[in-house]
Structure 1
Amino acid sequence: MPNVGVDIGSTATKGALWNGRSFICCITPTGWAPRESAARAVAQIKRRGRIPHDHDVRVTATGYGRNVFSADRRVTEITCHAAGAHYLVPTARTVLDIGGQDSKVISLYPDGRVADFMMNDKCAAGTGRFLQNMAAHLGCTLADFCGIPEGTPLQPISSMCTVFAESEVIGLLARGVPKESICLGLLDSVAQRAVNLLSRISESGDICFTGGCAQNETLRALIEKKTGRRVTSPKLAQYAGAIGAAIIGGGMQRGD
């Protein structure tokens, strides 16, 4: 029976299915109904994997919403992100995951098992939601954070608190500071927060950067520069949790 991994996150729900050669992945907004979003992800994956809708699949769920979905197996997101990141970047000894409402750092043993981890799930600063809120104040979109022209001056953002950062951004706009410089400063503040978290868990080795924010090349480069370590954002970085769930559910790696 095919095994589908589903990562039910706070912002998006991801699905992954191994087709014998590679992973088929999908993403759908979580919204206010994580159970329904997980069901949509499973249905999408079955269509993409050409599995008839009336055929059963084995589902392994992870993420903050894993306990509200009727899955065959539930595995912690730390374990699944570790397994997924190890598959995507076998040389990585650390996982940095920046999601919609939390961020986490996981140190890995060479075989991909979890050695240690630390999460920031109490404060929105340094997460995708932080950038989303700042984009609203700047009158731009998250895509604008990915298209900052090379050579743009960086406007430092002194506050790491979301509420105070909002006031600071509004003040900078009133002074006529270019939006691109503010965006770069906000990315730099997120990068510094990530580096601070990394320093408490891991000091050396390659880093696999996962989560929705891993799609931002500027953010990846800032973290790499600040750490002096190689930071890799693989093509399927956003799906690391779902891929890990599929790997563990399929017996390719043991989970908890």
Structure 2
Amino acid sequence: MERIEGSESGSDLQTVVRAGAVLFAFDQNTPELGLSQLATKLGLSKAAVHRLAQTLVSLGLLEQNPTTRTYRLGVRLLQLAHVVQSSLDIRHEARSHLRDLRDSTGETVYLMLRRGDGAICADRIEGSHPMRDLSTPPGTTVPLTIGASGTAILSTLDDTEVEGAVRSLDSKTAADVIERVDAARARGFAMTRGDISEGVGAIAMPLLDDRGAVVGAVSVGGLLSRVEASQVELAAAVTRTVVEIAEAMGWKQV
């Protein structure tokens, strides 16, 4: 473990780094550590480590043994690990269904997972058409206010949440987003025209978990004229894929 450099009255960012270093100090060989051990490992004073550790305890990220007063990792980390594992499971379970969607439509297929006010591209399968959409590489995070997947996700949220998502936008852009969301709710699927890449159209459906909470969206993207001409068929194909992925995950779509 590297010692933490810098003064103990550092910035908020330094505090976050130090809190992370406290968590990373634990491993399989040392699942519990006392205050002095942590201070030695991190190169910080006991007082500084105590403040960090107690804050992490209050968040459930650390626990303190009431008898020995040593620290161990908290169960809240298991919840976070479950979120990560769930995302990995979705990608694994969805892959074959996304490939089938690409094969049946010829368009590029995306699996987008919600991350707060954005959606991250968890998987992309390139279309087979000569003119195909490659606008969002895997790992890219896109605001929910941009793209068909974001619109599909927003369409499942209540109006207060949608208003919160557009609050930082100028009035015209915010109005455009809300109009797209309203259209998606009325139409039953989200459709966007050139808002990520000029000349590209996309259609998306939200993916809901077993509690009815939105976890992401599946979309197809391609040449705008082609997508517009086949929007009903594409929407039906994306809907089937969403249902298949939900069933593979053991979720019932609400």
Instruction: Say yes or no: TM over 0.5.
Output: no
TM tier, shorter chain?
0.3 to 0.5
- Write 1 or 2 for the structure with the bigger share of helix: 2
- Highest relative contact order (Cα 8 Å, sep 6+), 1 or 2? 1
